[in-house]
Amino acid sequence: MKKIAIYDTTLRDGTQGEGISFSATGKLRVAERLDAFGVDYIEGGYAASNPRDMAFFRDIKKRNLSHAKIAAFGSTRRAHIAVGEDPGVLALMEADTPVVTFFGKSWKLHVRDVLRTTPEENLAMIADTVRYFKERGKEVIYDAEHFFDGYKDDPEYAVATLRAAAEAGADMLVPCDTNGGTLPHEVHAVILDLGTKFETPLGIHTHNDSELGVANSLEAVRAGAVHVQGTINGFGERCGNANLVSIIPNLMLKMGCAALRDGKESLKQLRDVSQFINELANQRPWQKAAFIGDSAFAHKAGMHVDGIRKNPQSFEHIEPEQVGNKRRILISELSGASNVFLKAVEMNLSMDKSSPEVKEILRELERLEKEGYEFEAAEASFKLLIQKVLKAHRPFFGLEGFRVIVEKNDHASPCRSEATVKLTVDGEVEHTVAEGDGPVNALDGALRRALIRFYPQIADVYLTDYRVRILDPEEHTAAKTRVLIESSDGKESWSTVGVSENIIEASWEALVDSVEYKMFLDEQQEKAGDA
């Protein structure tokens, strides 16, 4: 198997993305998670740019990484400054990392207009900086910035910049598509050409401005590159860097390359790694992300679901478990009997695909969707719907009534919300009141207060998301609304839906389903334990 070194720059290039930032502790946690995942290099930051990155280089040495090498990033010496006197070079040495990665200019436009020096001095800057770090025992990775643009402009000079680094002793030459405008066939041709000119190994660093960061990285590998730089979730400046979450499984599962320390066992961590880093960066996961998104193995059309039931390869390019994901069957007006059947299987219900119950569930589904319900993103509500249609649902409580009051006394004071809920549980009437930040928050509090004595497990349930969709905006303030609620008990997560012209009633429906689904889950687990 061809070994591809994975170089992660989430903590440096990734943080240049809009809205991406990690705390000092967060950076250390990301590095430890990437090390456990099995990447080969972790670029910790720009050595001369800020105190937080320098603190990272100091603190990471106290952590026991098992595999990855830490790299500090910087640039060549400045024009007409001795390499040993350049502040940026000295900061790279101060970072005290085993690997030094620095960039130099490959495009005469940058040499002339940005560095404002001569092509000859630029070559000397590259060579001097490589030589300086090699003489001090560092592994040196040279990032040839804007290489593909420079190659198109003046291929002879662009190659000369790489030659300056190679002859000075660089361990890896990494052409960079810094502007993200190069096409895959161009990357392939250039890397092939460079392979005939250099014995020093070649890498690749691409950006996603043309939505080709992943494709360009794979083409570089196909042409001979053995080192790939990128970020988790494609974080990075402008449109982002090449996304390692897509590159790594393509390398390992489609191209037969070795890319992580523990091979396919490490690959099973892919979704968890993506979610972990999204969480620390305070980013919401992209549902349609390839390989690891919630929709990556979600099937909706009845024909597709029927095919999956018979042979998963019919509509899935890999097994979802290979990347730590799972298959999802969606329910909508496009659903067929196979969708309902597989949902029933998930719930351990005994049901035949051609049974009358399946047709009844489909009819009820069609009726509710005409009213505005949507179950694709509310699977918990759909599972409860199946139970109700099959007459297998046991209501955990009955509603006697609820009332919500929103009060505002003057212009300066905040609104005050209060909810009263009256329920019947096992023949007992429970009447409670709660205040909240808003009417739904108050209603949620009153519902929980009424049920906690009978069902203490609901104390573990909390809302993770609350979304409202206006279904018929032409009705203005009388429009029907759909409320989707996501809930969790710390172990499982589930989504529920409610629909009404009254947003409070829609919220109540979704809240009731959320609480009942928790009790349904616990009941199912108890039955499984007894069995």
Residue 96: pLDDT above 80? yes
Query: Is pLDDT above 80 for 391?
Result: no
Mean pLDDT of 429-443: 91
Sequence-ordered strand ranges (E) for 29-138: 41-46, 69-75, 99-105
Q: Which residues, 6+ apart, have CB-to-CB distance to 147 below 8 Å?
A: 106, 107, 158, 161, 162, 175, 176, 177, 178, 190
- pLDDT band per the 50, 70, 90 thresholds, residue 298: confident
Structure tokens at 206: 């691409």
Q: Does domain 2-280 bear CATH number 3.20.20.70? A: yes
pLDDT at 387: 79
User: What is the CATH code of the structural domain delimited by 398-530?
Assistant: 3.30.160.270
Percentage with pLDDT > 70 across the chain: 92
Residues 6+ apart with CB under 8 A from 15: 21, 22, 45, 235
| Mean pLDDT, residues 476-497 taken together | 84
The answer to whether 404 and 421 have CB atoms below 8 angstroms apart is no
The length of the chain in residues reads: 531
End-to-end CA gap in the chain:
47
Say whether pLDDT at 25 is over 70. Answer: yes
Mean pLDDT rounded to a whole number for the chain: 90
Report residue 528's pLDDT band, with 50, 70 and 90 as the boundaries: low
* Encoded amino acid at 418, one letter: E
For residue 195, pLDDT beyond 80: yes
For the whole prediction, is pTM greater than 0.95? no
Q: Give the contacts of 491 (CB within 8 A, at least 6 positions apart).
A: none
* Domain ranges, ordered by start, for the chain: 2-280, 298-370, 398-530
Higher-confidence residue of 435 and 385: namely 435
Q: In this predicted structure, what is the pLDDT of residue 50?
A: 80
Asked if pLDDT for residue 510 goes beyond 60, the answer is yes
